[in-house]
Chains A and B, each alone.
Chain A
Amino acid sequence: QSVLTQPPSASGTPGQRVTISCSGSSSNIEINTVNWYQHLPGTAPKLLISDNNRRPSGVPDRFSGSKSGTSASLAISGLQSEDEADYYCAAWDDSLNGPVFGGGTKLTVL
């Protein structure tokens, strides 16, 4: 059972907008920033969003992040086939005194 809760799957058609949620608590998301990672099988994970809504250099602006209270969301607009991957939210947890991942969401582009 992950400290951060994500839906196990999400899907959309090319061009659509999809959102992936991440639910936490007062010891993590509410008081710390949220990062999002993209992971394609067999490759290294990639930092997609940092500090709730900052895109590292090279990440398309189709990807955006937001946070409100104890929840965060990743939005992908103009969905493309290469976006098919696993997506993980991550945050520092003050109770555990360490970083935690969500369980991951497998995004399928139909």
Chain B
Amino acid sequence: EVQLVESGGGLIQPGGSLRLSCAASGFTVSSNYMSWVRQAPGKGLEWVSVIYSGGGTYHADSVKGRFTISRDNAKNTLYLQMNSLRAEDTAVYYCATGGITADYWGQGTLVTVSS
């Protein structure tokens, strides 16, 4: 059974850093595209980052240069390193299998950027 469990969210001050983790089971992270998607309060879904099975990455313009998606093959875990956080990064962050076709999703982790 495929399972995705996010962790690492919380309250952080503007300018701070946070690393989100997504522990996967039931499949191999490195063999799949993997995504981070977020939903800010009262807003729609936004694709944040994608890591391809070959290791290449995509980051939305809104986070480019501040966020980095990566994976640890040995731990079968996906990460999102978030630096220089802004109030507008406040959102529930979901990890998901796949790129544009995201078959499985985690339950999400809340990141709140506030002083």
Return the chain B residue nearest A86 by Cβ: B44
Contacts of A43 in B (CB 8 A): 107
Q: Is the CB of A35 within 8 A of B101?
A: yes
A57 to B48 alpha-carbon distance, docked (Å): 27
Interface range for A = 20 to 34
User: Given A45-B94, A101-B47, does the pair A91, B100 have CB atoms closer than 8 Å?
Assistant: yes
Interface of A is mostly: strand
A50 to B102 alpha-carbon distance, docked (Å): 9
How far, in Å, is B19 (CB) from chain A's closest CB?
21
Q: Please report the number of residue pairs spanning A and B whose Cβ atoms sit closer than 8 angstroms.
A: 58
Choose from A47, A88, A99, A102 the contact partner of B99 (Cβ within 8 Å).
A99
A39 to B50 alpha-carbon distance, docked (Å): 20
Return the chain A residue nearest B92 by Cβ: A42
Choose from B58, B105, B108 the contact partner of A97 (Cβ within 8 Å).
B58
Return the chain B residue nearest A102 by Cβ: B44
Q: Which residues of A contact B (CB under 8 A)?
A: 2, 32-33, 35, 37, 39, 43-47, 50-51, 56, 86, 88, 90-92, 96-104
